[in-house]
Homo-oligomer: A and B are copies of this chain.
Amino acid sequence: MNELRVIPIMGVGAVEKDDDLVEILLSAIDTQGLALEDQDLVIVTSKVVSKAEGRVVPFDGSEEHKVVLVEAEARRVLRRRGPLRITESHHGFISANAGVDLSNTAEGTAVLLPKDPDRTARRMRGEIKRRRGVDVAVVISDTFGRVWRNGVTDVALGSAGIRPILDLRGTNDANGRPLEATEIAIVDEIAGAANLVLGKAMGTPFALLRGLDPSYFGEGSISESVIRSANDDLFR
């Protein structure tokens, strides 16, 4: 295996509705003296996708309004505690407050999750190929809590050009026995790795991963591969 590099893309300012995210990304990469290569992977935090796609709504700052916004974004509420809702979003993501975001938003607004993050990732990948001639993977990431462990981590909401799950079923261990725990959610490990360099407070929205194993690249989407069906879920 080779070394993996995780590189923050600096110098990106505020993103507004209808901004060209690919142009902003490519300019910032140029400014940093980098050039995209085949089998690079670009992380895009979902907040800037939402802003560029106009997923910004008025918000009066009250707990009551927050609950209204959250429940409108949810197709199901799994748990309630005070103003906190654990929800299943229209996409199928289970998280706190349906991903409705009140940090790093303009005064009087809240930011909703992107409508279709897999589609955005595919579109950005296609645009990068068209403008620069390179085959890169794209992952749209966001920050979710976990059930049994404190703290939040970044996970993937959308992806293109990468196999979200590395499937080692049928692979044997060093002793010739089938491997256990053989479906590795590399796309979420990638989102988390990027978050280590993104600097939460500064809001850097892009990172570049270089040196991922070539076998990780391929077809797939988060909606088809990563979202667990309710039938397979022991805790819904």
Contacts and interface: CB of A to CB of B under 8 A. Distances in A.
Interface of A: 1-8, 10, 14, 79, 81, 86, 93-94, 101-107, 143, 145-155, 164-166, 168, 171-175, 177-186, 188-190, 192-193, 195-204, 212-213, 225-228, 232-236
Contacts of A236: 148
A4 B235 contact: no
Nearest to A208: B3
B196 A81 contact: no
A179 B199 CA distance: 12
Nearest to A199: B1
A48 to B, nearest CB: 13
A62 to B, nearest CB: 14
Nearest to A234: B79
Given A3-B5, A4-B196, A188 B151 contact: yes
Given A6-B193, A165-B151, A201-B173, A146 B185 contact: yes
A174 B185 CA distance: 32
A171 B203 CA distance: 12
